[in-house]
Amino acid sequence: MTNANGQEPLLQVNNIEVIYDKVVLVLKGVSLHVPAGGIVTLLGANGAGKTTTLKAISGLLRPERGEVTRGSIYFQGRRIDHEEPPEIVRMGIVQVLEGRGVLEHLTVEENLLVGAHTRPRGDNLQDDIEMIYHYFPSLAERRRIKAGYLSGGEQQMLAIGRALMAHPKVLLLDEPSLGLAPLLVQEIFRIVRRLNEEQGVSVLLVEQNASIALEIADYGYVMENGRIVLDGDAETLKNNEDIKEFYLGLSAVGQRKSYREVKHYRRRKRWLS
Amino acid sequence: MDFFLELFVNGLLTGVLYALIALGLVLIYKASSVLNLAVGEMALLASFVVALAANFGAPSWLAILAGVVVMVAFGYFVERLAFRPLIGQPVISLIMATVGIALFLRGIYFILSNKWPVYLVDLGLPVDSLNLGPVSLLSSSVVGGLVALLLFGLVGYIYARTRTGLALRAVSDNQTVALSLGISIDHLWAVVWIGAGLVALVSGIVWGQRIGVQFGIAILGLKGLPVVFLGGLDSMVGALLAGIFIGVAENVVAGYLDPLIGGGTKEFLPFFIMLIALWVRPYGFFGREIIERV
Ligand SMILES: Nc1ncnc2c1ncn2[C@@H]1O[C@H](COP(=O)(O)OP(=O)(O)O)[C@@H](O)[C@H]1O
Ligand SMILES: [Mg+2]
């Protein structure tokens, strides 16, 4: 499949189905593309299947007894849905887990070093570490501190910085805004944008916070109940009435409605017409 | 006073060996949160292999090499056949797997030792006594203690300074996160099982020389439990200090108490200490601190 520029997308997920524990069907045919150099966001409410989608890509489903049972995932033209996580990281896909997941008992710098685990021995990591500190200056001051003692925002920065140590071509970010104050979220998203522009790393950003995600993304998908229900350019999505009402909290009466309330008439209208 | 000193120093040497057994537990625990209930049987297997090879006329170096080969193969196959298929299963399944391994090794030992009875690991180490002032020690015990300490130093170095050590610490901290960084859990599990196998080899050789190759070595594995519960399941420093503490405590107390009660102190005291330790500090005295941010 090709995108508008006639190029093969960096990452393509084709109609995948994911089953947990051999019986629980969670993804029911999900397709999405991440172009090289792009920022794509995957939006959806809790339980929609966003994390499952990311784990299907990064190979992290297996330890949770999940399995891609249908469809395929390609990265740079190579099929990866049966690869193990170490190989997937080596190819250039790194997932930053939901809830940050720093290694609490390791120092900030050790966290960064272990992020380079898949790189060849003898690579010069010091320059990379300095680069991370350049983007996240507050980590530099705390390099000898155990990561468990960092603030929530710093932990998120560390998790992103650590992922960069593997020299990824695409970063999978799972709800980086979770539990952080709005100003901090903005700062982190600004840095993600800069990393994308200056380092050329592509991003697949999972978020519930649609307004801020659509601020930095080029393209977005909306997921519900294991399916993609909507996709489009970030600009288009920002102006979409469903998104406005549900995610941006801008319903006509000025109160936040549940998507369930609005989706029936609207989505029916959209998809059936 | 001389009597006390003798009890103390001998307890010290035994304690280092208990610490070594505990090290086999800690290595596996840190990598997988699994209590390896086969440590004693692993040491038994190792001592049997070395003694058997020596019995067949192999020179010491070759007998030890045979032990290395068997324990490395053992570690590799445990990971491959018992652990890897259980990734993602509850920890209790893995612990039960180690019980299975223990019983399997016992079976193997009984079958093989019926066929080829061996009694002692004899690597030609000096058997004379060393006299240090008022204390006299078996020089083989001293050598055993020093080798054990050396092994602790080596493992500590690997954890603190090498790339594999860093990955091991990452897995010990958070397995899911480690996996997301491309760390291969399978590979590290093989590393720690092989490591634990080699640690058991040293234990097996030292004990096999000291008490002979007999089922008692498997029972010694139980002495690792009070050590790790006192020192903390995930702490090597804890294992060393707690091992020494228990070795000294049981030897000194037994020295004075056994003549009065007719023996058996060493069989109950470590476990009594374990109960108290569990009661006072469930995670041991050197277990990893739990980080709570405010
Ligand atoms: N390991 C698992 N086993 C069984 N069901 C799971 C597992 N992980 C997630 N699920 C289920 O899959 C659905 C999607 O979960 P998830 O992908 O985490 O959604 P999201 O990230 O969008 O909140 C939920 O209904 C959840 O209960
Ligand atoms: Mg999620």
Confidence of residue A3 (pLDDT cuts 50, 70, 90): very low
DSSP 8-state secondary structure symbol assigned to residue B291 = P
Query: What percent of chain B clears pLDDT 70, i.e. is strictly above it?
Result: 97
Contact A58 B180 (CB under 8 A): yes
CA of B293 from ligand 1 middle (Å) equals 28
Q: What's the pLDDT score for residue A7?
A: 67
Q: Tell me the chain B residues in contact with residue A113 when contact means C-beta distances shorter than 8 Å.
A: 166
- Do B180 and B48 contact (CB within 8 A), yes or no? no
CA gap A36, B70 in Å, rounded: 50
Q: Which residue has the higher pLDDT, B55 or A108?
A: A108
Look at residue B4 and tell me whether its pLDDT is greater than 80.
yes
The residues near B245 (Cβ < 8 Å, ≥ 6 apart) are: B15, B230
For atom 3 of ligand 1, which residue has the closest CA?
A20
| A158-171 tens-digit pLDDT | 999 999 999 999 99
Q: At what angle do helices B60-77 and B39-55 cross, to 10 degrees?
A: 140
Q: What's the pLDDT score for residue A264?
A: 46
DSSP 8-state secondary structure symbol assigned to residue A253 = T
Inform me whether the C-beta atom of residue A99 falls under 8 Å from chain B C-beta atoms. Answer: no
Mean pLDDT of chain A: 89
Q: Which residues surround ligand 2, an ion (CB under 5 A)?
A: A 51, 98
Confidence of residue A248 (pLDDT cuts 50, 70, 90): low
Helix (H/G/I), strand (E/B), else coil: B262: coil
> For residue A64, which ligand has an atom nearest its CA?
1
The residues near B84 (Cβ < 8 Å, ≥ 6 apart) are: B186, B189
Mean of pLDDT values over B56-61: 91
| B198-251 tens-digit pLDDT | 999 999 999 998 888 999 999 999 999 999 999 999 999 999 999 999 999 999
Domain ranges (residues) in chain A? 11-272
Helix (H/G/I), strand (E/B), else coil: B286: coil
Contact B167 A85 (CB under 8 A): no
Whole-angstrom CA distances from A15 to A28, A165, B110 are 8, 31, 56
| B25-35 tens-digit pLDDT | 999 999 999 99
The residues that bridge with B83 in the sheet, in sequence order, are none
| A69-122 tens-digit pLDDT | 999 999 999 999 999 999 999 999 999 999 878 999 999 999 999 999 999 988
Q: Which residues 89-108 in chain B show a CB within 8 A of chain A?
A: none
Nearest CA in chain B to A165: B181
In Å, the largest CA–CA distance within chain B is: 65
Q: What's the pLDDT score for residue A252?
A: 43
Q: Which residue of B86, B180, B187, B189 is the best one to mutate when testing the A interface, meaning the one whose CB has the most A CBs within 10 A?
A: B180
Best mutation site among A16, A18, A19, A20 for ligand 1, i.e. most ligand atoms within 8 A of its Cβ?
A20
| B71-119 tens-digit pLDDT | 999 999 999 999 888 877 888 999 999 999 999 999 999 999 999 988 7
Mean pLDDT of chain B: 91
Q: Tell me the chain B residues in contact with residue A149 when contact means C-beta distances shorter than 8 Å.
A: 291, 293
| B130-152 tens-digit pLDDT | 777 777 787 878 888 999 999 99
Inform me whether the C-beta atom of residue A254 falls under 8 Å from chain B C-beta atoms. Answer: no
Look at residue B8 and tell me whether its pLDDT is greater than 70.
yes
Per-residue H/E/C for B66-123: HHHHHHHHHHHHHHHHHHHHHCCCCHHHHHHHHHHHHHHHHHHHHHHHHHCCCCCCCC
* CATH code, A11-272: 3.40.50.300
Inform me whether the C-beta atom of residue B291 falls under 8 Å from chain A C-beta atoms. Answer: yes
Q: Which atom of ligand 1 is nearest to the CA of A223?
A: 22
Inform me whether the C-beta atom of residue A89 falls under 8 Å from chain B C-beta atoms. Answer: yes
Nearest CA in chain B to A62: B88
Burial class (CB in 10 A: 0-12, 13-18, 19+), A45: middle
Query: What percent of chain B clears pLDDT 90, i.e. is strictly above it?
Result: 69
CA gap B24, B227 in Å, rounded: 11
Ligand 1: which residues within 6 Å by Cβ?
A 20-21, 24, 26, 44, 46-52, 64, 66
A49: amino acid identity, one letter:
G
What ipTM, to 2 d.p.?
0.88
Q: Tell me the chain B residues in contact with residue A66 when contact means C-beta distances shorter than 8 Å.
A: none
In the sheet with A24-34, reading across from the earlier edge strand, the strands are: A24-34, A11-20, A66-75, A78-79
Domain ranges (residues) in chain B? 2-127+137-280
> Which candidate from A84, A97, A113 shows the least CB-CB separation from B176?
A97
Helix (H/G/I), strand (E/B), else coil: A266: helix
B2-127+137-280 has CATH 3.40.50 classification? no
The residues that bridge with A202 in the sheet, in sequence order, are A170
Nearest CA in chain B to A116: B181
Contact B87 A62 (CB under 8 A): yes
